[in-house]
Amino acid sequence: MPAVISSLSKDQENNLLSLFSLVRLHLLYKASIHGFTAAAFHSRCDKQGPTVTVAYNAAGFAFGAYTSKDYTQSGEAVNDGEAFLYSIGAERKKPLRVGGISGQHAFTDGGHGPHFGALVFLHNDQPAVYSNPGTCFNFQAAEMHGDDLALTEFEVYRVEGLGDLLEKPWRNIQWTAEKRHQLMTSIQNYLPDIKTVNHARVLLVGPVGAGKSSFFNSINSAFRGNMTCQAMTGTAGTSVTTQYRAYTIKVGRRGGNLPLILCDTMGLEENADTGLNIDDVVSILKGHMKDRYQFSTCSSILEDSPGYKKHATLDDTIHCMAYVVDTSKVSLLSQKMLDKFTAIRKKANQLGIPQILLMTKVDEACPLVTKDLKNVYRSVYIQKKARQLSESLGIPLSYVLPVKNYSAELELDLNTDILLFMVLEQMLNYADSFFENQIADGQDGTNDPELYRSRIPPHGVLSERDDPKVV
């Protein structure tokens, strides 16, 4: 299925958002993709809470209706004092907003398309709107839709309130250059407890477009001191990553590598026969997949496959898994996608692999964070999404970490780096937990004591001269 992308222009989106307080719009339904039928509309929009419809016509209008109530196909007339109709025209500076007629209901909740009396969308399961001003709402037809009732597109968005800023952040962060340098030093001087293991190996898993490859590029850029793009990224509806990649991270342009390997995978997709295969995830976790293995959508890796490593060591296995989810799409995770996460989580638990969850694109999800990244732990909306993910995936809230990847920037940013480095620090902490379990399992005396090493940093302490951001 093609990628489902909003048809709202930036100006149209800003005009629509101006009709609300602080909200976020989540695209639920797009008629050109899902079908211009009432059934297609209800399959994606019932019981979704507050929603706003957006109808487009060839006359250049974007118009529709907002309701704070659920669609449930109850067959009843629904009262909603917050409901309104609106219109955004190319020649109009401000959007038209029309409140309901006093004493009349807002919409009829039936099995048809959205029925607001004066406007009935998807009329007769066609790309059309029925216009009848004076029923429930009153307006001038020319102002509302320019008397053009044929639709070129029709969309429905869930409207989520962003809330405000918390009085106190739910996590205390030091947003200073000293903190950034401290994190860099700690990460560079990390050393696994087991002698046969040279790097902590972390696997990134998440839906298509969640930001796995962008996360690696951001980490690589922050340590290198300039923007890099080693891992392929994009906005396609299918995964840009088609190979299994095990990436090392270099400190500075000519420095050594960090004691950390970030492993990137094909993106997860809803359908069982598309995207990353769960059996392939298990092979990666056990260390059996070689770098640059080409994923197949038809079958998982087999023991006789060219990219299969038969004799995997502890150094080859995954020591920590990081689920990567786009913050603005948390509410849109389907049950099929959640089921895939659950299946992967179960496999990782069986192998004793610690897991964390990265909430990416926090700046795109919340305007308050866009304005100032330091608001990330004060944003009511971001905290709400973190709790929602924690509950949906069964991961403790303390393991859920908001992060911002570099995307359009040309220069590194102190606050962005701090969030990125905090994630790496937690990955290494959880990898330590994995190694400690391996040591505990070997306390019966069967393991070689040379497997365990003292905590002496192998690379020396990172000096300010080596830190590309310290001046």
226, pLDDT greater than 70:
yes
Average pLDDT, the chain: 89
Residue 295, pLDDT score: 82
Distance of alpha carbon 219 from alpha carbon 28, whole angstroms: 32
Which comes out higher in pLDDT, residue 387 or 442?
387
Spatial neighbors of 55 by CB under 8 A, at least 6 apart, are 61, 62, 63, 64, 121, 129, 145, 151, 153, 154
Asked if residues 302 and 308 have their Cβ atoms less than 8 Å apart, the reply is yes
CA distances from 266 to 41, 218, 287, 348 (A): 30, 18, 17, 18
Instruction: State residue 239's pLDDT score.
Output: 52
What are the strands of the beta sheet with 400-402, ordered from one edge? 245-250, 257-264, 200-205, 320-326, 355-360, 400-402
- What does the pLDDT read at residue 455? 52
Joined together, the tokens standing for residue 320 give: 């920590």
CB-based contact 324:266 (threshold 8 Å) = no
Average pLDDT for 145-171: 93
Helix/strand/coil (H/E/C) assignment for every residue in the chain: CCCCCCCCCHHHHHHHHCCCCCEEEEEEEEHHHHCCCHHHHHHHHCCCCCEEEEEECCCCCEEEEEECCCCCCCCEEECCCCCEEEEECCCCCCCEEEEECCCCCCEEECCCCCECCCEEECHHHCCEEEECCCCCECCCHHHHHCCCCECCEEEEEEEEECCCECCCCCCCCCCCHHHHHHHHHHHHCCCCCECCCCCEEEEEECECCCCHHHHHHHHHHHHHCCCCCCCCCCCCCCCCCCECEEEEEECCCCCCEEEEEEEECCCECCCCCCECCHHHHHHHHCCCECCCCECCCCCCCCCCCCCECCCCCCCCCCCEEEEEEEHHHHHHCCHHHHHHHHHHHHHHHHCCCCEEEEEECHHHHCHHHHHCHHHCCCEHHHHHHHHHHHHHHCCCHHHEEECCCCCCCCCCCHHHHHHHHHHHHHHHHHHHHHHHHHHHHCCCCCCCHHHECCCCCCCCCCCHHHCCCCC
How far lies 78's CA from each of 68, 100, 108, in Å? 11, 12, 6
What tens digit of pLDDT does each residue of 63-80 get?
999 999 999 999 999 999
**What is the per-residue pLDDT for 80?**
97
Token duo for residue 202: 């972390």
Exposed e or buried b per residue across 362-374, where buried means at least 16 C-beta atoms within 10 angstroms of its C-beta? bbebbbbbeeebe
- Of 238 and 265, the structure prediction assigns the larger pLDDT to 265
For CA atoms 428, 431, 432, 433, the dihedral sign is positive
The mean pLDDT value for 282-309 works out to: 86
* Angle CA 200–203–207, to nearest 5: 160
> What integer is the mean pLDDT of 410-420?
96
Q: Is 6 exposed, middle or buried (0-12, 13-18, 19+ CB in 10 A)?
A: middle
Residue among 321, 294, 318 nearest 306 (CA): 294
Q: What is the mean pLDDT of residues 236-254?
A: 77
Q: What's the whole-number mean pLDDT along residues 286-290?
A: 92
pLDDT tens digits for range 448-465: 544 565 455 544 444 444
pLDDT for 124: 96
Structure tokens at 19: 């009709």
More confident call, 442 vs 30: 30
Structure tokens at 144: 């509302």
| Domain annotation for the chain: domains and CATH numbers | 10-161 (no CATH), 177-466 (3.40.50.300)
Instruction: Please write the tens of the pLDDT for every residue from 363-403.
Output: 999 989 999 999 999 999 999 999 999 999 999 999 999 99
Q: What confidence category does residue 162 fall into, taking pLDDT thresholds of 50, 70 and 90?
A: confident
| pLDDT band of 247, cuts 50, 70, 90 | very high
